[in-house]
Amino acid sequence: MQASNKSLVAVYPGSFDPVTNGHLDLIQRCAPLVDKLVVAVLKNAHKSPLFSLEERVAMLEGVLGGFDNVEVDAFDGLLVDYGRRKGAHLLLRGIRAVSDYEYELQMALMNRRLAPEIETMFMMAGEAYSFISSKLVKEVIGLGGNVSGLVPPSVEEKLRQRIPGQP
């Protein structure tokens, strides 16, 4: 087998509203496996995010500064079209529980139909992060709960500033 000069590019899409330690775990584990990992923040007109697209990108850039091969970007439209523009070979998706798998499988199969040249790679969430979701973090902090250890400290501070009634 001959070595290829082609670099391996992966895209990790998500809303990242906000970025959690579960997201960071996947990024830390995937980055060494590829030449370039694009963390792509989805601009979704059907959702009402807590943080603007620009804020979510800035939060990710703030916590991912130590990775030479990780780029943060934003996109809208079809993920596979974005992946093609970025020269992606892989789409990274995280699986926390069996309940995630059914939805992710449907998306992976549709993406394969639309762009057979781009593979989907599933990574299991680390055990310590398998219950964390951005939605759950927002609910917990909104009810006055402690989210330290679930999100980076800088993100926790932004959450406390954004959600009323936080100390």
Which positions are catalytic?
23, 47, 96, 134
Euclidean distance between CA atoms 159 and 151, whole angstroms: 10
E strands present in the chain: 9-14, 36-42, 70-75, 90-95, 119-124
Three-class SS of 85-114: HHCCCEEEEEECCHHHHHHHHHHHHHHHHH
* Three-state secondary structure call for residue 46: coil
Q: Which residues on adjacent β-strands are paired with residue 71?
A: 38
* Three-state secondary structure call for residue 144: coil
